[in-house]
Amino acid sequence: MNILIIEDEARIARRIERMIRSILGKEINSLNLCDSLDDGLKFIAENEIDLLFLDLNLNGKDGFDVLETVVSESFHTIIVSAYKDRAIKAFEYGVLDFVPKPFDEDRLAKALRRITSKDVSDTAIKYLAIKKRGKQSLIKVENIIYIKGAGIYTELFLQNGTKEIHNKSLENLRALLPDSFERIHKSYLVEMRNAKQIIIEPGSKYSLEISNGEQLPIGRTRYKNLQEKWFS
């Protein structure tokens, strides 16, 4: 895992670093520190990362200004900030976690666990930030019907019939989105309020009919779980 920490307080940056190393151990490929937003953004542009730790107030600058930029990227973002009151807004924008200062190793470990196992209790995400022709724009999560994985990025299919590209993988989006988004196939994540019925075709082929009439394939291994959870 490639990790970047953007934090202007040397002592705190090193604390985060030390703890991540202790939690993740050999899982870490690279771990870098930047003490300013500019350096951090430059690093992101030039290097592939999987996880970003971001302080919201850096050298008197508001990290929120870059939040929209970083959440539209493929990697997960964890905010480490003194401004607890901004957690809700951060979650709305699709950060993986918000770690308020001061923190200990347990809290950091909990945040890191979210990458793999989703903590259902608080998914307050309201928007997905996407990059469109170099500019950021926000898509309301409630407008998404389903998401299709397309290699390292994903395609978001919206209520108005349009399609947008997101830089995050289906796996990473799954971690951010609420439980109403169900993985029905290795390449499909559906907002289940839009699901109408399961269609069983000959040869044990299953598909899900959704509100706009489209039929999406259901993974063989996922059918049972899906049937039980949503249609029984």
Q: Which residues bind other proteins (CB under 8 A)?
A: 8-12, 14-15, 36-38, 41, 57, 59-62, 64-66, 82-85, 100-104
**CA 173 – CA 188 distance, rounded (Å):** 11
**CA 213 – CA 211 distance, rounded (Å):** 5
Name which of 84 and 205 has its Cβ closer to other proteins. Answer: 84
The burial class, CB within 10 Å (0-12 / 13-18 / 19+), for 46 is exposed
Name which of 99 and 145 has its Cβ closer to other proteins. Answer: 99
Name which of 58 and 145 has its Cβ closer to other proteins. Answer: 58
Q: From the CB of 108, what's the least distance to other proteins, in Å?
A: 12
Q: Which of 70, 17, 72, 63 is nearest to 37 (CA)?
A: 63
Q: Are 122 and 106 in contact (CB under 8 A)?
A: no
Name which of 60 and 213 has its Cβ closer to other proteins. Answer: 60
User: Can you name the residues that pair with 154 across neighbouring β-strands?
Assistant: 149, 166
Q: From the CB of 154, what's the least distance to other proteins, in Å?
A: 26
Q: From the CB of 102, what's the least distance to other proteins, in Å?
A: 4
Q: From the CB of 22, what's the least distance to other proteins, in Å?
A: 12
Q: Which of 66, 112, 114 is nearest to 93 (CA)?
A: 66
Name which of 36 and 167 has its Cβ closer to other proteins. Answer: 36
Handedness of CA 81, 99, 24, 125 (dihedral sign): negative
* CA distances to 56, 183, 213 from 147, in Å: 30, 9, 16
Q: From the CB of 138, what's the least distance to other proteins, in Å?
A: 17
Total Cβ atoms within 10 A of residue 63: 23
Name which of 41 and 158 has its Cβ closer to other proteins. Answer: 41
Q: From the CB of 58, what's the least distance to other proteins, in Å?
A: 9
Q: From the CB of 87, what's the least distance to other proteins, in Å?
A: 12
Name which of 64 and 230 has its Cβ closer to other proteins. Answer: 64
Helix, strand, coil share of the chain (percent; to 5) = 35, 35, 30
